[in-house]
């Protein structure tokens, strides 16, 4: 059986834009891989991650280089050796999962040895802005049970206080995207504790996070950028209480499932996260989300328009994907 391989890039407008400590965006840019055997088609989506030097062009080139092996029937396990961890491998791996599900008539969850998938509650992200702007955005989302607040370093104490005042009943988690340093760390940490924040994601740069091993951590600290693509969990336990597993960094669902089990064995709490993509990118991560402590798969909720068919959301309740979408 020879597969047909199709690689495309797509752009989706972000509703109202999206800002983190490293900059702003108006569109989500994704790469989609389609694998077809003449009867069945499997698809996977990835989002190149500039933090690790990925671009649309570099990701597409990586996939093109592996295309001859895919046409010959490269397996998911062999893929782990044939490509490095990252966005390109994620798109290919998820397409292989989807194709296998379509060919076998089984759901991807069954192939993975999981039970029937259930709806999960996802976080909803509040972008970085002034305290006043963030308070306004938070008021519009205050009905949601779990909010993820993007922070940016100095002034985060005022930002998180404004968010908490605007959403007194929501569970809050925050993500600094490596923006804190010693000049604001203690103040921001105290503000998060005072606001009842449950988890702080990547407060310090991965190259300077040794401080986390030296202090008492009054709030759960989660590794994101410090969990580098293709790297193990070794050494993170001294500094972090949780890890954020993203398929684009793990290099696909196959590796992410393995990483999830390793994290549990090492007594980490687990967040399943995402880059800013469509329902096709979120769908495989719903398998990891079933047993995660925190779910952050709100990419489609942040877009002006998702792909169709997409995932079903009822407020912040995310339903498992239907076969027409993935898996």
- Report strand pairing: 269-273 vs 294-295: parallel
Roughly what angle, to the nearest 10 degrees, separates helices 131-141 and 156-166? 30
- 3-state SS assignment for residue 274: coil
Alpha-carbon distance of 184 to 188, in angstroms, equals 6
255 and 88 Cβ atoms separated by less than 8 Å = no
Is 150 known to be catalytic? yes
Structure tokens at 64: 């093109």
319 and 306 Cβ atoms separated by less than 8 Å = no
Residue whose token pair is 């684009």: 248
- Report strand pairing: 120-121 vs 317-318: antiparallel
Taking CA 273 as the corner, what is the angle to CA 270 and CA 275, rounded to the nearest 5 degrees? 160
325 and 280 Cβ atoms separated by less than 8 Å = yes
Alpha-carbon distance of 140 to 152, in angstroms, equals 21
Q: Which residues of 123-146 are buried (b: 16+ CB within 10 A; e: fewer)?
A: bbbbbbbebeebbebbeebeebeb
Q: Which of 137, 150, 239, 269 is catalytic?
A: 150
Structure tokens at 98: 């989807």
Q: Which of 148, 239, 246, 269 is catalytic?
A: 246
245 and 228 Cβ atoms separated by less than 8 Å = no
82 burial via Cβ count (<10 Å: 0-12, 13-18, 19+): middle
Query: What amino acid positions are annotated as catalytic residues?
Result: 150, 246
């Amino acid at each position: 059986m020879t597969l047909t391989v199709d690689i495309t890039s797509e752009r989706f407008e972000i509703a109202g834009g999206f800002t983190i400590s490293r900059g702003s965006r108006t569109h989500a840019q994704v790469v989609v891989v389609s694998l077809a055997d003449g009867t069945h088609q499997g698809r996977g989506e990835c989002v190149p991650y500039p933090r690790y030097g990925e671009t649309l062009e570099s990701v597409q080139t990586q996939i093109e280089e592996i295309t001859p092996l895919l046409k010959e029937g490269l397996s998911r396990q062999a893929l782990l050796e044939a490509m490095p961890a990252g966005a390109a491998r994620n798109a290919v791996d998820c397409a292989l999962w989807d194709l296998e599900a379509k060919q076998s008539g089984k759901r991807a969850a069954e192939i993975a040895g999981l039970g029937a998938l259930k709806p999960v509650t996802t976080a909803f992200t509040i972008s970085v802005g002034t305290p006043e702007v963030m308070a306004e955005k938070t008021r519009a989302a205050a009905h949601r049970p779990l909010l993820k607040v993007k922070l940016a370093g100095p002034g985060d104490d005022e930002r998180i206080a404004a968010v908490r005042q605007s959403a007194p009943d929501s569970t809050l988690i925050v993500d600094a995207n490596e923006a804190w340093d010693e000049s604001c760390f203690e103040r921001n940490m105290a503000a998060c504790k005072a606001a009842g924040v449950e988890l702080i994601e990547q407060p310090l740069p991965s190259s300077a996070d040794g401080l986390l091993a030296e202090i008492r951590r009054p709030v759960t600290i989660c590794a994101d950028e410090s969990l580098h693509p293709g790297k193990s969990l070794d050494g993170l336990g001294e500094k972090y209480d949780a890890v954020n597993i993203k398929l684009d960094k793990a290099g696909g669902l196959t590796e992410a499932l393995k990483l999830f089990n390793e994290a549990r064995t090492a007594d980490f709490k687990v967040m399943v996260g995402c880059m800013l993509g469509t329902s096709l990118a979120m769908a495989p991560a719903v398998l990891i989300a079933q047993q995660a402590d925190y779910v952050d798969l709100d990419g489609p909720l942040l877009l002006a328009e998702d792909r169709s068919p997409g995932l079903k959301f009822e407020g912040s309740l995310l339903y498992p994907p239907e076969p027409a979408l993935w898996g």
